[in-house]
Structure 1
Amino acid sequence: MINDRQQNPWILSIVSIFLLHLVTTTNSSHNPLFKRLSIELFNAPALAQTLPGGIQYSPPDRGAPRSTGSGGARAHETPTILESEENWTRTRGTPTPDPKPIQTIPKECISTTPTLLVPQNHLGLTTSSNPTFLWYLPSKDVEIMVFELRKAEEKEPIYAEQLQPSAGIIQMQLPKDKAKLEIGEEYIWSVSVSCVSEGKRRKISVEAGIKRVAPTPELTNQLSQANTSQDKARVFAQRGYWYDALETLSTAFTANPNQSTYSDILALLDQVGLNEITKKERQQ
């Protein structure tokens, strides 16, 4: 992902950030919505510190536990890894075998299993009908990568797309002309990759939940007073809108890569238990 370079001990305070603006998708007519953020850091400790007045994520009030239903207890509130025989085709109305949740990723698949950039113990919220989804892919050595979105209580996706794998942090906005989230509805989104384990081709999927809610008057008022994208992201984070906060930062960073914005991105990921991802990014 990043070329090795000799570090000069006299310029450890210099941060070099490189952004690859676009990764072409294999089956997509909206390429600008699918991007990879490629970051090269000369001074990781500088970004490890949260700036004064930095971003602070406050999880939303979860309220009373919801009904577990037939799919297990609140499975969509915690990212779940599933494994199944490789099958990338779906025929509407035709039953397909349910994938099985796994606790341990096959060792042959560890380097290609994505990590969804979401809270690890609760459902993330958004106010957007077409939010941006982000995940981390350790290696681009994947033959197939598929994004899917479905309603929480349904098996068939309302949107699916095959994407070109690329190592690092990946972001993809739900295309406005293809699908949208409804207020009050919960959805499951997933990223699936192919993998060969024990001589068999496997489909490794990682899925998590998202819920669209209407913005409160307090949120709207605070956003109107925010002067920058970072200020808006911090408002979203303080109010518990995970997807909106991360999307605002990633969009701002794509337009204008800088240390302050990326520091907020890493700080957000750290606060929801994604320390392994931030550690890898800082060590590159």
Structure 2
Amino acid sequence: MVIPLGIRSIAVPLSLAVVMMGAIAHASWASYRPPANIGRPGNREGAATRIARPMLLRESTGGTESCLTEPKQTVVALVPKDNNGLSSTPTPTLYSFIPANRGAALTLTLRDSQGTEVYRQERPAPTEAGIVGWPVENVSLKKGVDYQWELTLTCTNGTTAIKTASWFRLMPLSPSQQQRIVQARDAAAAFAMAGYWYDALNQLAKQRLAQPEDTQVQQKWQALLQSPAVQLANLANQPLVPLPPQP
């Protein structure tokens, strides 16, 4: 079909305008700003270790493969590159990328700054690759305390365990911060600029689930993960997948 010249001359600028609008929305959305005076060592990207089981000699000699179907993938906690962040709520949702697998279990453990275990729960791992959100509930957390959260993926055949370790500090919003969040046009951006990583991420994750076709929400999610203080651009397009219930 031949498109009249007048229509062709309009179509090109319109398409460019759409691209430019997306780029502007991406560039103007707030980046995550890490809070000052917070920082503990961690390891957001999991490293695999083989579980010794003397009864199965082939496991100790490397004859048994891991349950991961993509060897280059690993568990990654969705946290800033310094492995720390603030949460305004005592019931944060902790997000991690789970690689595709043929059957594994996930264990989430919380320890206080003294190393005392305060929370532990196990769930089946989703078998498809994606990002899961784990809501921490039924535990009493203290204001101003740093908590280490460890996520361990263990293959059900008992051959491989992958562990990440990250931190969050429970820090309720001050009255002035609460007012700014309430009045903000974009709560996720306001949380990100204030250093509340876990709140900003959870806000956008809920928006992605509620509006999966919304390109602006996707652009904001990508902008957050690509922030200089985060650098998780490789996970920006991964889907959100449900966390299976406790067995």
TM over 0.5: yes
Q: Given the alignment, which residue of 94, 98, 115 partners 1:137?
A: 98
Give how far 1:261 is off: 1.2
Q: Is it true that 1:189 corresponds to 2:149 in the alignment?
A: yes
Residues 206-233 of structure 1, C-alpha deviations (whole Å, 9 max, x = no match): 1111111121233111112124xxx000
Say if 2:93 and 2:134, in contact at 8 Å, map to a contact too.
yes
Q: Is it true that 1:202 corresponds to 2:160 in the alignment?
A: yes
Amino acid at match of 2:74: T
Between Structure 1 and Structure 2, how many residues are aligned? 206
Evaluate the alpha carbon distance shift between residue 123 and residue 212 of structure 1 in structure 2; reply closer, same or farther with a 3 A threshold: same
Match of 1:62 in 2: 37
| Aligned-partner Cα distance in 1 for 2:90–2:24 | 33
Identity within the alignment, %: 25
Evaluate the alpha carbon distance shift between residue 85 and residue 150 of structure 1 in structure 2; reply closer, same or farther with a 3 A threshold: farther
Say if 2:74 and 2:162, in contact at 8 Å, map to a contact too.
yes
SS in 2 for 1:158: strand
Q: Is it true that 1:170 corresponds to 2:143 in the alignment?
A: no
Amino acid at match of 2:76: T
Say if 1:112 and 1:142, in contact at 8 Å, map to a contact too.
no
Residues 182-202 of structure 1, C-alpha deviations (whole Å, 9 max, x = no match): 211111112211259xx9823
Give how far 1:164 is off: 3.0
SS in 1 for 2:117: coil
Give how far 1:263 is off: 1.2
Runs of 4+ in structure 1 off by over 3 angstroms are 44-53, 80-87, 108-112
Say if 1:112 and 1:141, in contact at 8 Å, map to a contact too.
no
| Aligned-partner Cα distance in 2 for 1:142–1:49 | 42
Residues 234-259 of structure 1, C-alpha deviations (whole Å, 9 max, x = no match): 00001110000000111122122211
Say if 1:115 and 1:137, in contact at 8 Å, map to a contact too.
yes
Gaps of 5+ in 2: 1-13, 53-65, 240-247
Q: How does 1:60-139 map to 2 (within 5 A)?
A: 60-62=35-37, 74-76=40-42, 78-79=43-44, 81=46, 86=51, 110-111=71-72, 113-139=74-100
Give how far 1:151 is off: 1.7
Gaps of 5+ in 1: 1-12, 15-43, 66-73, 88-105
Q: How does 1:243-262 map to 2 (within 5 A)?
A: 243-257=198-212, 258-262=214-218
Amino acid at match of 1:55: A
Give how far 1:168 is off: 0.9
Say if 2:105 and 2:122, in contact at 8 Å, map to a contact too.
no
Evaluate the alpha carbon distance shift between residue 50 and residue 127 of structure 1 in structure 2; reply closer, same or farther with a 3 A threshold: same
Evaluate the alpha carbon distance shift between residue 262 and residue 186 of structure 1 in structure 2; reply closer, same or farther with a 3 A threshold: same
| Aligned-partner Cα distance in 1 for 2:133–2:32 | 20
Evaluate the alpha carbon distance shift between residue 247 and residue 280 of structure 1 in structure 2; reply closer, same or farther with a 3 A threshold: closer
Select the structure of larger CA radius of gyration: 2
**What TM-score does the superposition give when structure 2 sets the normalisation length?**
0.70
| Aligned-partner Cα distance in 2 for 1:140–1:46 | 38
Residues 93-147 of structure 1, C-alpha deviations (whole Å, 9 max, x = no match): xxxxxxxxxxxxx9x7844521110001251111111011111123133422222
Q: Is it true that 1:146 corresponds to 2:107 in the alignment?
A: yes
Say if 2:149 and 2:165, in contact at 8 Å, map to a contact too.
yes
Give how far 1:150 is off: 2.1
Evaluate the alpha carbon distance shift between residue 122 and residue 195 of structure 1 in structure 2; reply closer, same or farther with a 3 A threshold: closer
Evaluate the alpha carbon distance shift between residue 110 and residue 207 of structure 1 in structure 2; reply closer, same or farther with a 3 A threshold: farther
Say if 1:131 and 1:243, in contact at 8 Å, map to a contact too.
yes
